[in-house]
């Protein structure tokens, strides 16, 4: 008897959902070994994270607060990744969206709520969208690798926000802190009662539903999928790749920009440095783990929000909150590594037959 991996012809739904779950459990186990080696009790670490995120009303609310930007950026990233357009500039698009949206309450503080919020959303989408579009334009015009350009533009976008809040946009009454003036009430999305969790969650649900329909039903959704999996076939089918790259980068960036708008509008209530603790990067993992499926992204974003909020709890144990980043990176390793298993099935063959097949 020997065990042999054989290519399976049709993807198997059970293995496609089961294998990622096993991979995530395996990554938790891997990190547990690492915690033991560095002198920590993994049970204590994980239970602190779990209770921190889900053990209280405050924790649950915080978990939803973190889920919202992760899901919005993850959805934006999924739009681009589906056509193998590696937009890893969500972080920069988030900052540019936040920055563009901030311009509205700073310049027109007296707008009523019903006018303020929609213009801020549009500005957020434009800020992030144009930032993404620029990278798309570099790609279509000069074949600049979008991985490099979007990544470089992350740093530029973050520094641009620093430049504004340390300079022209600094609140004159802010005791010299690098912050803009606090937004008027009319520029803030409502929250649920006294909790911090806010109406941004409706954005997540709405955008995920729309994308799900687009991906599944629309011609454009299908075209982008074809471009991603087989650009040659796409070209023969007469699909305009250039305009699709531009459109996709704009939409992808716009969704990340809306995430930035939501964050400054309600969670922070002003523009300041460090509005994102790396949501744009974590969202890449979220999108990939969810296999770019819009509804699954919401679920994975919630899981990662638990890890994120739990990560803050670890600081009380003297561990850096970046421990959460490490866990998330490890999860991606295991899921990426296990992907081959979904393409294969395990066959038990007699040893003679096994050798013949090689």
Partner 1 sequence: MNETLLISILAASITAGTPILFAALGELITERAGITNLGVDGMMLVGAATGFMASVTFHSPWLGVGVALFAGALMALIHAYLTITLRANQVVSGLALALFGSGLSSYLGKAYVGMRPEQTFEKLPIPFLSKIPIIGPVLFKQDALVYLSYALVLLAAFYLYKTRAGLFLRALGENPAALDAVGINVFGLRYIYVVIGGALAGLGGAYLSLAYAPCWLENMTAGRGWIAVALVIFALWDPWRALAGSYLFGGIDALGFHLQVLGIPVSIFILNMLPYIFTILVLILVLIKRGGRLAAPQSLGVPYDREER
Would you count residue 241 as binding partner 1 (CB under 8 A)? no
Joined tokens for residue 15: 């293995």
- Min dist CB 188 to partner 1, Å, is 27
- Characterize 171-193 residue by residue with b for buried, 16 or more Cβ atoms within 10 angstroms of its Cβ, and e for exposed: beeeeeebbbbebeebbbbebee
Q: With respect to partner 1, which residue has the nearer C-beta, 73 or 122? A: 73
Single residue of 322, 346, 350, 353 touching partner 1 by CB under 8 A: 322
Q: Are 150 and 92 in contact (CB under 8 A)?
A: yes
Would you count residue 317 as binding partner 1 (CB under 8 A)? no
Site for partner 1 in 173-202 (CB under 8 A): none
- Min dist CB 234 to partner 1, Å, is 19
Joined tokens for residue 16: 């496609």
Give the whole-angstrom CA distance, residue 121 versus residue 346. Answer: 50
Give the whole-angstrom CA distance, residue 215 versus residue 80. Answer: 12
Work out whether strand 344-349 and strand 2-7 pair parallel, antiparallel, or are unpaired. Answer: antiparallel
Phi/psi-derived region of residue 54, left when phi > 0, alpha when psi is between -120 and 50, beta in every other case = alpha
Would you count residue 337 as binding partner 1 (CB under 8 A)? yes
Q: With respect to partner 1, which residue has the nearer C-beta, 339 or 345? A: 339
- Min dist CB 208 to partner 1, Å, is 22
- Specify which residues 345 forms β-bridges with: 6
Give the whole-angstrom CA distance, residue 43 versus residue 62. Answer: 23
Single residue of 333, 345, 347, 349 touching partner 1 by CB under 8 A: 333
Would you count residue 345 as binding partner 1 (CB under 8 A)? no
Site for partner 1 in 271-300 (CB under 8 A): 281-282, 284-285, 288
Q: At what angle do helices 42-54 and 57-81 cross, to 10 degrees?
A: 90
- Min dist CB 264 to partner 1, Å, is 19
Joined tokens for residue 330: 């490890």
Q: Are 334 and 74 in contact (CB under 8 A)?
A: no
Site for partner 1 in 54-93 (CB under 8 A): 86, 88
Q: With respect to partner 1, which residue has the nearer C-beta, 92 or 257? A: 92
Would you count residue 102 as binding partner 1 (CB under 8 A)? no
Give the whole-angstrom CA distance, residue 197 versus residue 60. Answer: 9
- Characterize 312-333 residue by residue with b for buried, 16 or more Cβ atoms within 10 angstroms of its Cβ, and e for exposed: bbbeeeebeeebbbebbebbbe
- Min dist CB 89 to partner 1, Å, is 11
Would you count residue 30 as binding partner 1 (CB under 8 A)? no
Give the whole-angstrom CA distance, residue 89 versus residue 296. Answer: 21
State CA 192 to chain mean position distance. Answer: 24
Which stretch in 189-197, 216-224, 258-266, 335-343 sits in contact with partner 1 by CB under 8 A? 335-343
Would you count residue 356 as binding partner 1 (CB under 8 A)? no
Q: With respect to partner 1, which residue has the nearer C-beta, 217 or 242? A: 242
- H or E segment at 198? none
- Min dist CB 63 to partner 1, Å, is 19
Give the whole-angstrom CA distance, residue 1 versus residue 177. Answer: 70
**139-168 footprint of partner 1 as x/- string (CB under 8 A):** ---xxxx-xxx-xxx-xx--xx-xx--xx-
Would you count residue 227 as binding partner 1 (CB under 8 A)? no
Would you count residue 319 as binding partner 1 (CB under 8 A)? yes
Q: Which residues bind partner 1 (CB under 8 A)?
A: 7, 38, 86, 88, 138, 142-145, 147-149, 151-153, 155-156, 159-160, 162-163, 166-167, 281-282, 284-285, 288, 319-320, 322-330, 332-333, 336-337, 339-340
């Amino acid at each position: 008897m020997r065990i042999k991996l054989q290519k399976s012809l049709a993807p198997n739904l059970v293995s496609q959902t089961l294998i990622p779950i096993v991979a995530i459990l395996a990554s938790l186990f891997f990190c547990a070994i690492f915690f033991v080696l560095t002198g920590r009790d993994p049970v204590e670490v994980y239970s602190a994270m779990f209770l921190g995120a889900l053990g209280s009303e405050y924790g649950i609310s915080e978990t939803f607060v973190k889920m919202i930007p992760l899901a919005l950026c993850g959805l934006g990233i999924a739009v681009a990744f589906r056509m193998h357009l590696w937009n890893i500039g969500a972080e920069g698009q988030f900052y540019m969206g936040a920055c563009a949206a901030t311009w509205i309450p700073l310049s027109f503080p007296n707008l009523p709520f019903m006018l303020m919020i929609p213009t801020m959303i549009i500005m957020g989408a434009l800020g992030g969208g144009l930032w993404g579009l620029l990278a798309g334009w570099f790609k279509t015009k000069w074949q600049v690798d979008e991985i490099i350009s979007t990544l470089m533009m992350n740093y530029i976008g973050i520094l641009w926000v620093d430049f504004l809040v340390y300079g022209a946009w600094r609140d004159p009454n802010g005791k010299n802190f690098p912050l803009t003036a606090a937004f008027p009430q009319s520029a803030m999305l409502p929250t649920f009662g006294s909790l911090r969790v806010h109406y941004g969650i409706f954005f997540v649900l709405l955008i995920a539903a729309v994308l799900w329909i687009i991906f599944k039903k629309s011609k454009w959704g299908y075209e982008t999928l074809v471009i991603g999996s087989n650009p040659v076939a796409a070209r023969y089918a007469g699909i305009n790749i250039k305009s699709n790259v531009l459109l996709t980068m704009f939409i992808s960036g716009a969704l990340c920009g809306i995430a930035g708008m939501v964050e400054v509008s309600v969670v922070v209530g002003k523009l300041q440095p460090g509005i994102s603790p790396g949501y744009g990067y974590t969202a890449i993992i979220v999108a990939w783990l969810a296999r770019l499926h819009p509804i699954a992204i919401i679920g994975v974003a919630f899981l990662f929000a638990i890890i994120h909020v739990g990560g803050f709890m670890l600081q009380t144990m003297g561990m850096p909150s970046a421990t959460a980043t490490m866990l998330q990176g490890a999860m991606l390793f295991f899921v990426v590594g296990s992907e081959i298993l979904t393409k294969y099935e395990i066959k038990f063959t007699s040893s003679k037959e096994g050798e013949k097949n090689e």
